[in-house]
Structure 1
C-alpha cells in the first residue's frame, strides 16, 4: 500500500520543530543528569546509614568474636561465658545489618550489585553456626577459625566496596579509601587474634608462625598504601599516626616475636604485653577511620550544592531559550503555513472545480471572459507570492488553451459531421440501388450497410443529431431480423424466439445500430463453423435481447472492465480508438435508457 505523502505544512512544521525539539531534548538531558547526580549524591547518606556503618559494626563484632574464639581454643580450661556474650553481640550486629540493608535505596547498576552482595552475605553468615559448633567442641584449629571468620569478614567488605560507588569521583574515592583502609585494619585484627591465641598457648602451633609472617608482611604493605588516596590533609594526619609511638611499639613487638620465635617454638612475649601493645595501635587506626564516612558525606553535600547551582543557572537559561525559540517558531511557522494554506486552497479549487467547470462550459460552446474568470491571490511579496502569481498565470494559460482546444474540437466535429453526412448520402443511394438481394450481391449490400454504420460512428463521435430513417414505429422482430440480414455472414446468425413488442420511431435506427455492432463483434470473435444466437424475451424491467456466441470469450477482469465502460460512458479518447464500437454502444444505450452487459456463455464464449 502506498504511503500517504507528507504535506508541505507538516514539513515546514517539522523543520521548525526539529531544532526546537533538539534544544528541548538537550535541556531535558541536562536537567535529568543534574537530578541524577544530585540523587546519587543524596544516596551517599542512605549508603552510609544503611550499609557502611551497619556493615562496619558487624565486622567489628565478628572480629571480636574471632579473637575470643581463638583464645577459647588456646586455653583448654577456660569457660565459654565471655565467648557467648561476644556471640550475642555479633548476632545483634548481624540482625541490625540485615534490617538496615532492607532500607537501602540506591539506584542504578551499582545498587543492583550491592543488593546481590547482600544475598551473598546472607549465605556466608549461615556458615557461622557450623564454625561455632566446632569451636564449642574444640574440634578445629586456630588457623581454621582464623580463616573461617576472615572469609565471612571479607564478604562483608565486598558489600561495603560495592556500595561505595558514586557519581561524584571525590566521594567515591573517599568511600573506597575507607573500605581499603578497613581491609588493612582487618589485618591488624587478624594479627591480634592470632597472637592472642599463640600467647595464651605459650607457643606456635602448626602453621601459626608462617601465618603470622604472612599477615605482618601484608599489613606493613597495605596500611601505608591504603592511605595514599586520602585527601592531602587527611593523608598527612594518617602518616603522622603510622610514624607515632603506638605503631612504632607495634612494629617493634612484631619484630621481636618473629625474630625470637620459630615454627612450633615458644613465644617470647606474654598475652598481657601483646594486648598492651596492640590495643593502642588498633584504637588509633579505627579512631582515624571513624569519621571517614562523614568526610565522604561532607564532600557529597558540597558536590550536590555545586550541581544544584549549575542546574539553577543552566536550567533557567535553557528554559528561557526554549520559550523564545518556541515563540519565534510559532510566529514564523504560523505565517508561512497560513499563506501556504491559502495557496493550497486556491490551487485545489482551481484544479478540482474552477478549471474543469470552465473546460466543460467551453466544450459546450459557451463563451467566457478569460480575465474575469482568473483568480487574483494576495500573498505578500516573497517566494510564496511568486508561486501564487505563477498559479494565476497557469490558470489563465490553461483556460486559453482549453478555449482554443474547444474551438478546434468544434471545427473538427463540423468537418467530421460534414464528411459523415456526405458518405451517408452516397451509401444510402448505393444501398437503395443494391437492395436486399441474395447470392453474390448480398455481400455487397451487407458491406454497404456496415460502411453506413461506420459513417454514423463519426456523427456519434461529433455529438451531432443523427438522421432518422423510417416511416414510423416497427416491431422488435422486424428490426432485429433486418439487422441480422444486413450483417456480413448473416447465415451464421440463428434467430430464436423474439417477444412481440414495438420500437418507437426515434429508436428504430439506434437500436438497429446497437444490435448490429454487437452481432458483428460476436461473429468476428468466434469460429466460422459456430453459430451466433439472437433472441428477445420479456424481463423484469422490460425486454431482454440476448446475443450469444461460442468464441474465445474474455477474462473475468476484461468482462468487469467492459461492463463498467458500458454502464458509465465517458468522453471518447482518441487514443482508445480500438474500442470505438464499445463507446458507440455505450453512448446509444445511455441516450435511450438501455442497459447493456456482457458475461460468459454457458458453453464458452460470450453473451451480450
Structure 2
C-alpha cells in the first residue's frame, strides 16, 4: 500500500476529508481574524492609555517643572537681594504647590504605568516631598547654602524631564519622533533657566567665582549645541516656526550677547573671580519675555502632542473596529460559502455512494441471481444509469454506468455460455449413462448364469469398473444441474447403501465397513445421492492413502441423525486446507468452467451439491492416524427406521434389485455381510476426484 493510500485511509472517508477541508481554513481564518483584531484593538487601547497617562502625569509634570523653574528664578533673585519684597516669590510658591498637588494626585495612574515610567515618577514625587525642607533652609539658612537649595530645584526638574522623556516613548513611532524634539526643547529651556539662576545670584556682587563661571559656560555651551544641532533640525510645523521666531527675537540676541560677554571675561584678581558686565537690567527684561515665550510654547506643543496622540489612538480604534467588522463579514462569507460547497459536495458524494452501493449490492446481484436461475435478462433494462451532471462526479457516475453495463453484458454472456456447455455435457452424459446401465444389466445377467469362480471374479471386476464409470457419468449429470437417473420406490437398508457405495470404488478390497444399525434405512428420494456421495468420499480416501492400508467406514445413529465416518491413513492436510475445503462443502459453489480449469476438484463440487440437496453435513478433519476423517451427518428427515425382518424391496434404476457391492468368488455366499472395503481417504486430501 502506498503512503498516499494509507493517508487517505487514515482520514476515514472523503466526507471527513471535505469537512476538514472546510474546517481547517475556517478555523485558521477565524484565528487570524481574532489575533489581528485583538492586536489592533490592543495597540489602540494601549496608545490611548499611554496618552491618558501622559496627559495626567506628563503634562502636569511639565506644569510643575515650569512652576519650579519660575520659583527657582524668584528664589535666586530674593537670595541676591533679601531686603526686597518677596511677594512675587510667595505667590509663585502657591502656584507651584498647586501644580505639585495635581501631580501627586495622580498616584493611582502612576501605579498602573509601566515600570520604566513609574520609577521615574516616584522619583519625582520623592524629590517634591522634600521641597518644604529646602524652602525652609532658604528662608532660614542653616544646614545648607543657597546654591545647594537651588540645586535641589534643579534635581526635581531634571527628574521630571526624564520622566516626560519616558512617557514620550509610545507605541506609535511618529508620535515618539514628534515628542523627542519637545523633550529636548524642555531640556534646553531648563539649561537656560539654570544659567539665569546663576547670574541672578551673582548680579548683586558683580562677579562670578571660577567654579560658577565654569558651570555657566557648560550650561551655555550645552544649550547652544542642543538648540542648533538637535532641536532645530528635528522640529516640524508650528513648533519649528515658533522656535525660530524666539531665536530670531531681539530679546534672545540680547541674552546671547550678554552670555558672550560673561564667557569672554577671564578670572582675575584675588580668588579668581570673573567680573560681570553691567547688564542686569537688560538681562532681566529680555529673560522675562523669552521665558514667557518658551513657557507658552512648551505648554502649547505639549497639549498639541497629547491631542494628536489621543486622535491617533481614537483613529486606530476606529480603524480596528472597521477592519474587524469587515474581516468578520468576509470571514462569515468565506466560511458560509466553504461549508455550503462542502455540504453540496458531501450530499452529492453520499448520493453517488448510495446509488453505486445499491447497484453493486442489490441490483447487480439480483441480475446475476436471475441469470443463475435461468431467467432471461435484458442487459439494458437491468442497468439503471446514474445521472450526476457533467463535472468530475458526473464523469465518475458515467464511468460506473459503463462498468455496470459491461458487467451485466458479461454476466449474460457467461450465463448463456454456461447453459450451453451444461446442455452439451448433459447430452453426452445421458447417452453414456444409458450405455453403462445397459452394460451393468448384461453383467448382472451373466453373473446369475455362471457359477465358475474364475469367470465370476472377472465379471465382478467388470461390474465394479462399470459402476465407477456410471458414477463418473452421474457426476457430469450433476454438473449440468440435473439429477441422476437412478430411483428407488422403497427405503434401502443402510448396509446395502454402504455396500453399493463401496462397489463403485476401484480399490473396494481395502475398505472395511462397520455398522450395527440393522434397522436403519435411507428414504427412497435420497438413496442414489447418498450412495454417490459416500462413493466419492470413499474413492477419494483410497486414492490418497497408501495401499494396502485400510480405509474404515463406520456408521451409527447420533443425536442429530445418521453419522458415517470415512477414515484413511494418509498424510493429512494443513489447518488452512481443512478450513478451505469445509467452507466449500458447507456452501456449494456455482459451477464455473473457467474457475474449475485450474483446479478440477469435480468430486468435491459433486459432494457439496449432493449434500446441500438433502441437508447433509460433510466435515473434514484430521484423524488420529495422521490422515483425514470425513464425517457425513445424514439428517433424520431422510433416515428411516424399519423392522429387522422387513423384506428388501429396494429397486435400482437398472435391474430393480437392491444395490449390492461386487462379490468375489470366494465370498459368493448371499448371506455374507462382508462387502468391499470402505472408502479410503486421500493422502493429505479428501478430494473425491483425486488428482484428475
Q: TM-score, normalised by structure 1?
A: 0.63
Deviation, structure 1 residue 416 = 0.9
Residue 511 of structure 1 pairs with residue 492 of structure 2? no
- The 5 Å alignment of 1:166-185 reads 173=174, 175-185=175-185
CA distance in structure 2 between the partners assigned to 1:68 and 1:440 by the alignment: 153
Q: Of 280, 283, 292, which residue of structure 1 is paired with 2:305?
A: 292
Residue deviations 1:377-419, cap 9 Å, x none?
9999999999999999988887666555444332221111122
Other-structure match for 2:57 = 54
Distance 1:385 1:490 in 2: 66
* Equivalent residue number for residue 225 of structure 1: 233
Work out whether residues 554 and 606 of structure 1, in 8 Å CA contact, stay in contact via their aligned partners in 2.
Answer: no
Instruction: Kindly state the Cα deviation for residue 121 of structure 1 after the two structures are TM-superposed.
Output: 3.6
Asked whether the 8 Å contact 1:65–1:90 carries over to 2, the reply is: no
Aligned-pair distance for 1:286?
1.2
1:119 to 115, 119, 132: 115
Matching of residues 220-369 of structure 1 within 5 Å: 220-227=228-235, 230=236, 232=237, 235-244=240-249, 248=253, 276=288, 279-280=291-292, 282-289=294-301, 290-298=303-311, 352-367=361-376
Q: Does 1:566 align with 2:585?
A: yes
Q: SS in structure 1 opposite 2:418? A: helix
Counterpart mapping for 1:568-587 below 5 A: 568-577=587-596, 578=599, 579-587=601-609
Superposed displacement of residue 589, structure 1:
2.2
Aligned to 2:109: 99
Match of 2:170 among 162, 165, 168: 162
Q: 1:553 maps to which residue?
A: 573
> Matched residues in 2 for 1:249 and 1:593: separation?
133
Query: Does residue 1:459 correspond to 2:477, yes or no?
Result: yes
Separation in structure 2 between the aligned mates of residue 128 and residue 439 of structure 1, nearest angstrom: 138
Closer/same/farther in 2, CA of residues 380 and 86 from structure 1, 3 Å limit: closer
> 1:3-44: per-residue Cα shift (whole Å, max 9, x none)?
66648xx99x999x99xx99xx99999999899879966775
Do the aligned partners of residues 160 and 532 (structure 1) sit closer, same or farther apart at CA in structure 2, a change above 3 Å counting?
A: farther
TM-score when scaled to structure 2? Answer: 0.57
Write the distance in 2 (CA, Å) between the matches of 1:521 and 1:265: 141
Number of matched pairs: 556
Match of 2:611 among 568, 589, 599: 589
- CA distance in 1: counterparts of 2:457 and 2:253, whole angstroms: 147
1:469-508 Cα deviation digits (max 9, x unpaired)? 5674344455446545755666776767776643223323
Structure 2 residue aligned with 1:106 = none
In structure 1, the partner of 2:431 is 422
Corresponding position of 1:109: none
Deviations 1:116-173 (A, max 9, x none): xx134445667679989999999xx99999899858864663453234x2xxxxxx52
Is 1:473 the equivalent of 2:485?
no
Contact 1:417 1:458 in 2 (8 A): yes
* Deviation readout 1:302-336 (Å, 9 max, x if unpaired): 78889999999x999x98xx79x98xx99xx98x9
Secondary structure (helix, strand or coil) at the match of 2:169 reads helix
Q: How do residues 13-32 of structure 1 correspond to structure 2 at under 5 angstroms?
A: none
Cα separation, partners in 2 of 1:62 and 1:283, compared to 1, 3 Å: closer
Instruction: Please identify which structure carries the higher helix content.
Output: 1
Cα 1:279–1:372 shift into 2, 3 Å: closer
Alpha carbons 2:232, 2:240 under 8 Å: kept: no
Cα separation, partners in 2 of 1:217 and 1:533, compared to 1, 3 Å: farther
3-state DSSP of counterpart to 2:573: coil
SS in 1 for 2:422: helix
Q: Relative to structure 1, is the Cα distance of residues 280 and 156 closer, same or farther in structure 2, using a 3 angstrom cutoff?
A: closer
Contact 1:569 1:590 in 2 (8 A): yes
Greater relative CO (CA pairs within 8 A, separation 6+)? 2
Change (3 A) 1:389 1:218: closer
Provide the residue aligned with 2:188 in structure 1: 188
Task: Flag the 1:387–1:279 CA change in 2: closer, same or farther, 3 A.
Answer: closer
Question: 1:519, 1:145 → 2: CA distance?
Answer: 127
The separation in 2 between residues aligned to 1:131 and 1:89, in whole angstroms, is 14
| Equivalent residues of 2:170, 2:176 under 8 A apart | no
- CA gap of 1:129–1:55, structure 2 versus 1, over 3 A, is closer
Residues 401-455 of structure 1 deviation map (CA, whole Å, 9 limit, x = unaligned): 6555444332221111122233444555677859999999999887766555444
CA contact (8 A) 2:54 2:306 kept: no
Matches of 1:540 and 1:241, distance apart in 2: 127
* Contact in 2 for aligned 1:484/1:490 (Cα 8 Å): yes
* 8 Å CA contact retained: 2:123, 2:159: no
Q: 1:36 to 1:534 in 2, by over 3 A?
A: same
Give 1:494-533 correspondences, 5 Å limit: 501-519=520-538
- Alpha-carbon contact 1:146-1:193 (below 8 Å) kept: no
- Offset, 1:178: 3.5
- C-alpha distance in 2 between matches for 1:443 and 1:261: 158
**Which aligned pairs between 1:529-544 and structure 2 lie closer than 5 A?**
534-536=553-555, 538-544=557-563
Could you tell which deviates more after superposition, 205-214 or 287-296? Answer: 205-214
Contact 2:67 2:96 (C-alpha < 8 Å) held by counterparts:
yes
RMSD of equivalent CA atoms: 6.6
CA 1:520–1:222: 2 relative to 1, 3 Å:
farther
Distance 1:378 1:84, change over 3 A: closer
CA–CA distance in structure 1, aligned partners of residues 457 and 248 of structure 2? 143
Q: CA deviation at 1:534?
A: 4.8
Indicate the SS of the match to 2:106. helix
